[in-house]
Amino acid sequence: MNNFTFHVSTDIRFGKDRLNELPEVLNTYGKHVLLVYGGGSIKKNGLYDTIMQQLTENKNQVTELSGVDPNPRIETVAAGAQLCREHQIDVILAVGGGSVIDCSKVIAGAARSDQEPWDLVLNRSYQGSAIPLVTILTLAATGSEMNRGAVISNLETKQKLGVHGPNFLPKVSFLDPTTTFSVSRYQTAAGSADIISHLIENYFSTTADTDVQDGVAEGLMKAVIKNLPIALDTPDDYDARANLMWASTLALNGLTGSGKGGAWSCHPMEHELSAFYDITHGIGLAILTPRWMLHVLNEDTAPKLARFAREVFGVQESVPEIAARMGIQKLYDFFISCGIPMTLPEVGIENEQHFEEMAQQAVAFSSISKNAYVPLSVEDVIAIYQDASTPSSYM
């Protein structure tokens, strides 16, 4: 296991009725609040009214930034940073999924930086100060509620890039599972596929003998596989939503990735699909992950893929390569059973027109060709995109 520092100081307020604590939390930072949210789901489900009532009673001065898109845009970041300066914002309150939280993180930094917002993203690392961020998570998926990363899109340059900063880490995150009852079937499934992907990306690493991290990852994957079908059937099942929400947070707060080396594989490939075609992140990952697994299956990787099959899906097969294929098939079938479209044409990517350019960017903006679990060249990435263009079978 590699050396690591694990210091994730976000104060998590998990459970029903915890939002009563919001005024006290915001008062720690000041009265001027930038309230950031997306396309209106929080108005439909009543969360906006609940929050506004509290902020009014608490005598906060509220500036709103609404309409953050899924795959948040750099223009929204710039607009938010401008609002922070104009209104001398003390604290940013992000209410939404990963897109709203990510957008708020980069706003928080850009408002206190001389850099142009897109230059800040292009640097991939932001070490400067940031306005304190409090989040109310409404979708179990990205883990942004308890990590230092953000992913921002520039539709003009067709780029979607991750940027990290120590001060992007939310100070406090409210995780009330009831706020996710209104998430659609599609986004619930997509979010869960994202959680599974984060665990898989960390699980398949070049660092050996990480039993703690791998055991935790297996447990979290099993929790998602058990609870997602329940949440799809019964959207207001509190415990199913609670398990998905906590899995989201733990899957990408460093718990399963610390102590491991190497680069992620499916995320850089998916970010290109989102950058070029604006598709839902978790859906892109669900489509790519089984194809990637098959592509990297060889004598060296078969034992770990077989462990995944046995521990996560209960596959009983002693020959590693066969067990591995059975596990890949189970993952594929699980995603199908959750209603996820499992080919690129089903999400509007109907031809190979941009495969080469996307593959080149995936390699250029990440280190998948250098230190991924199995290093991937531009040709490998194109082959994976091609394989994802038709339905697959692994047995």
Residues that bind ligand NZQ (CB under 6 A): 38-41, 45, 70-71, 96-100, 102, 138-139, 141-144, 147, 149-151, 179-180, 182-183, 187, 191, 194, 252, 267, 281-282
Task: Closer to ligand NZQ by CB, 40 or 215: give it.
Answer: 40
Shortest Å distance, C-beta 316 to ligand NZQ: 32
Shortest Å distance, C-beta 154 to Zn ion: 18
Find the residue with minimal CB distance to Zn ion: 194
Shortest Å distance, C-beta 147 to Zn ion: 11
Task: Closer to ligand NZQ by CB, 113 or 187: give it.
Answer: 187
Distance CA 193, CA 331 (A): 10
Distance CA 177, CA 138 (A): 8
Shortest Å distance, C-beta 95 to ligand NZQ: 8
131 Cβ contact list (under 8 Å, min separation 6)? 34, 84, 89, 90, 91, 92, 107, 108, 111, 112
- Residues 26, 92 contacting (CB under 8 angstroms): no
Task: Closer to ligand NZQ by CB, 98 or 109: give it.
Answer: 98
Task: Closer to ligand NZQ by CB, 365 or 394: give it.
Answer: 365
Judged by beta carbon distances under 5 to 8 A according to partner kind, the member of Zn ion, ligand NZQ, none in contact with residue 150 is ligand NZQ
Judged by beta carbon distances under 5 to 8 A according to partner kind, the member of ligand NZQ, Zn ion, none in contact with residue 269 is none
At 14, give phi and psi (nearest 5°). Answer: -100, 130
Scanning 127-135, 187-195, 303-311, 352-360 for contacts with Zn ion by CB under 5 A, the matching segment is 187-195
Of 51, 156, 168, give the one whose Cα is nearest residue 107: 168
Scanning 48-56, 110-118, 193-201, 213-221 for contacts with Zn ion by CB under 5 A, the matching segment is 193-201
Of 16, 305, 64, 333, give the one whose Cα is nearest residue 177: 16
Shortest Å distance, C-beta 279 to Zn ion: 13
Shortest Å distance, C-beta 10 to ligand NZQ: 12
Shortest Å distance, C-beta 77 to ligand NZQ: 12
The reply to whether 272 sits near Zn ion by the rule CB under 5 A is: no
Residue 264, both tokens: 């992620």
User: DSSP string of 328-349?
Assistant: HHHHHHHHHHTT---STGGGT-
Judged by beta carbon distances under 5 to 8 A according to partner kind, the member of Zn ion, ligand NZQ, none in contact with residue 254 is none
Judged by beta carbon distances under 5 to 8 A according to partner kind, the member of Zn ion, ligand NZQ, none in contact with residue 261 is none
Q: Is 343 exposed, middle or buried (0-12, 13-18, 19+ CB in 10 A)?
A: middle
The total of other beta-carbon atoms located within 10 Å of residue 145's CB is 29
- Residues 143, 198 contacting (CB under 8 angstroms): yes
The reply to whether 194 sits near Zn ion by the rule CB under 5 A is: yes
Q: H or E element: which one contains 162? A: strand 159-164
Q: Would you tell me which residues interact with Zn ion (CB under 5 A)?
A: 194
